[in-house]
Structure 1
């Protein structure tokens, strides 16, 4: 990037998060620079469901890595084109770290643990057949999404998402993401050592092919943080993440009534982005 160049897109960053625009304006640098690329201890093997470590000697260490389900070619090329075309007909709103977003979900204040219907009208119509297809996998047979978040990543904006754990007060066991337009890498990280790495942060690279679906559950959902780093956005990438309700909002839970109302709205598939 030339000195003084400021990308033409708007910036939605807050706090410590940055994109290329606010970095150019504030002369600040992103935590991940091009000459400081992420180093991985393991690579996830979806066939054996293990994290594999290749040694310089040629030896191979592998450890069970439960909680990741990868479904390659979940959507076809024609479906991908239709999905992106339909999304681009709606408004993309600026989000943090160079992303744009479309939200289909209830109004939530996670700090105060408050959720209300607000203007939520359900998931988008085009997602009905996707949710139906998900249910064909045994892992997702009972999955009933109540929120869909579409995110648009672009290398020209410096798009990324920092390592994080998704909320578990409102959101349930499964996080389901469809990866569109380009391959990327989902970085799983854990502090304190793991496998044959005794100390420090451990990173596992989970490669996400274009048009694939990935599910995080169990330890991969609740213990390991996940991220998409800037270096792994080489072209436009759009993803749709679907979330289900936690037990507190399901039958027998303290907020069962609200949860039932939200699910009823979500699964009518009449929604518009908020």
Structure 2
């Protein structure tokens, strides 16, 4: 691939089956959209009613717990300050046309091993944001031990495939701040919802306004896969995702000592990307 340009568009970090517009161009490999060949029931999440509403009225709405949306979580000035700070650090190439900055311990999820590595804490600007999060009842006691910044760009075909976040190390709540542009978070169940008469795959679109915060917990965190599709990235989009520790690493857990050490580092808010 060609060297990275100032805006991070010219190169990629795709491996295996992951692709972006950059490597598809060089490899002459078109990415096939598997969803075109299968039936999908599309719903839209209503943050006020907490219902998943069918887009074409072919099915009834149903309760959709586990998603909390906080619009205008940060101000325009805060957004500008955060992005400026991030862009002063190095963005590393990641899968599917994304770039990333990690602030967290070194983890091998397959072997279930975690160590400090070069982790020096979350970035300084996150301290006031974490304090603000904790004022929300559903985020009471939220203490992040990892922050991952991701940079999406339509020229790279940036996306993140449907996935479930790890639950061995990471705890109940996943918190993301969406910046620079609106996008859509798609939650999906491949096996459908037979109890509602939906045998085929079900998608619930959660619209994320610019400068909003979204929390996934409960079934939305553990049962429904989440993704950002390429066609939902229209302009540069940057997000910061914060993760807390699972019970195994908290007081009373088997790895509580290590968990306490990692939290002390994280909440020093003196970190640089690792």
The TM-score, its normalising length taken from structure 2, stands at 0.93
How far apart, CA to CA, are the structure 2 residues paired with 1:74 and 1:197?
37
How far apart, CA to CA, are the structure 2 residues paired with 1:99 and 1:256?
33
How far apart, CA to CA, are the structure 1 residues paired with 2:134 and 2:252?
23
1:40, 1:205 within 8 Å by CA — same for their partners in 2?
Answer: no
The list of structure 1 runs, each at least 4 consecutive aligned residues, that deviate by more than 3 angstroms after superposition, is: none
How far apart, CA to CA, are the structure 1 residues paired with 2:31 and 2:246?
34
1:74 aligns with 2:52: no
Q: Equivalent residue for 1:215?
A: 215
What is the aligned length? 266
Q: Give 1:152-167 correspondences, 5 Å limit.
A: 152-167=151-166
Secondary structure of the 1:220 match is helix
CA deviations 1:124-164 (Å, max 9, x no partner) are 00000000000010000111000000000000001000000
Q: Equivalent residue for 1:4?
A: none
1:14 aligns with 2:12: no
- Note the C-alpha offset of 1:64: 0.5
1:26 aligns with 2:50: no
Q: Equivalent residue for 1:177?
A: 176
- Note the C-alpha offset of 1:268: 0.5
1:46 aligns with 2:47: yes
CA deviations 1:36-59 (Å, max 9, x no partner) are 9x9652100000001011445xx8
- Note the C-alpha offset of 1:200: 2.0
RMSD of aligned Cα (Å): 2.0
2:188, 2:203 within 8 Å by CA — same for their partners in 1?
Answer: yes
1:32, 1:230 within 8 Å by CA — same for their partners in 2?
Answer: no
How far apart, CA to CA, are the structure 2 residues paired with 1:192 and 1:96?
26
Query: Structure 1: any 5+ residue segments left out of the alignment?
Result: 1-6
Q: Equivalent residue for 1:237?
A: 237
2:183, 2:208 within 8 Å by CA — same for their partners in 1?
Answer: yes
1:114 aligns with 2:113: yes
